[in-house]
Chain A
Amino acid sequence: MKNDALFEYCLRLGDTSLILSQRLGEWCGHGPILEEDIALTNISLDLLGQARSFLTYAGETEGKGRNEDDLAFFRDEREFRNFLLAEQPNGDFGVTLLRQFLICTQQYFLYQELSNSKDSSLSALAARSFKETTYHLRHCSGWVQRLATGTEESRQRMLDALDSLWRYTGDMFDTDELEKGLIKSGIAPDTDLIRKKWDTRVREVFSEASLSIPENVFQITGSRQGRHTEHLGHLLAEMQVVPRSYPGAVW
């Protein structure tokens, strides 16, 4: 039972990194400027590294012989546990950067706390991921402020991005019985604590960017149960098509 919960928890961690990595990878060759193209794909690769570690560990925990590839390429939409926010389409550069900032801030505090986990594998993976996430957060916080205080157009795009993405932020802090159990046994960090830290940091960055937190926005949740928005299926089709068409292919 404990292993089932840990398996599920690792999927939640790994899937968010995997799906966000795939989204950022879509920018490859399309960045607004060469330097930013490299920056986004660089973050994408870091996230892919995190996903590989968490999914590998998930497979080991499950004990059914599934490896990182089996989990990434041979599960269907309803079996994915990534945040709804991670699967949202790239939109314009502002949407991508705001999405990155909102998730990155969550990951930053999550990894910081998770590095004290009683599960030594999780704590080691979290400590390693924390360093690169610190860098990602610096990158995207700066962009949120630059775009929001830049030109009239860049500001409007940030306001639009905020309007379209805010409804998915609550999903990141949706806690179920399984997670509560892991929190109790010291394996997972307290979601409420992470939410508080996330909230404070987002407010700080927003206040420097003259953005305000949207009020009374209905929050769409469901990632914990595998209920996703219509975008994940299309993303998975693209991500999984090669291994599914040629199972076991190597090159």
Chain B
Amino acid sequence: MNSTEWPLWEVFTQKKSGLPFEHAGCIHAPDKEMALLNARDVYSRRNEATCLWVVPSGAIVSSTPDDMGSFFEPANDKIYRHPNFYKTPGANFD
């Protein structure tokens, strides 16, 4: 990274109160206040959100492609982990 470049921040937007925050994208900013304002201008200037989070990208901990097998596959062949026998509102296990 170019050393004169501002730090990277991840932006999360909440469409309305009570809904989960969703990742919108990322922006550059020199500090917290600027990160919030930039996030607003880039991702919510057309009324897309009612609340914003900005998080330094370095603070995000992510799983890696190597984790894929051990993390996610075991669920595939264990039908008893999926509550297919119940009707659950808003969930789709197909």
Residues of chain A having any CB pair with chain B under 8 Å:
33-36, 38-39, 42, 135, 138-139, 142, 146
Contacts and interface: CB of A to CB of B under 8 A. Distances in A.
Nearest to A39: B41
B28 A35 contact: yes
A43 B74 CA distance: 51
A42 B28 contact: no
B6 to A, nearest CB: 7
Given A35-B42, A38-B41, 4 more contacts: A35-B27, A42-B41, A139-B37, A142-B34
Contacts of B29: 35
Interface string B11-46: 000000000000000011110011001101110010
Given A38-B42, A42-B45, A33 B37 contact: no
A139 B33 CA distance: 9
Nearest to A40: B41
A36 B85 CA distance: 53
Contacts of B28: 33-35
B30 A138 contact: no
B18 to A, nearest CB: 24
Given A35-B27, A35-B42, A42-B41, A142 B6 contact: no
Contacts of B30: 146
A36 B40 CA distance: 11
A36 B6 CA distance: 12
Given A33-B6, A33-B28, A39 B38 contact: yes
A34 B27 CA distance: 9
A142 B41 contact: no
Given A33-B28, A35-B27, A138 B37 contact: yes
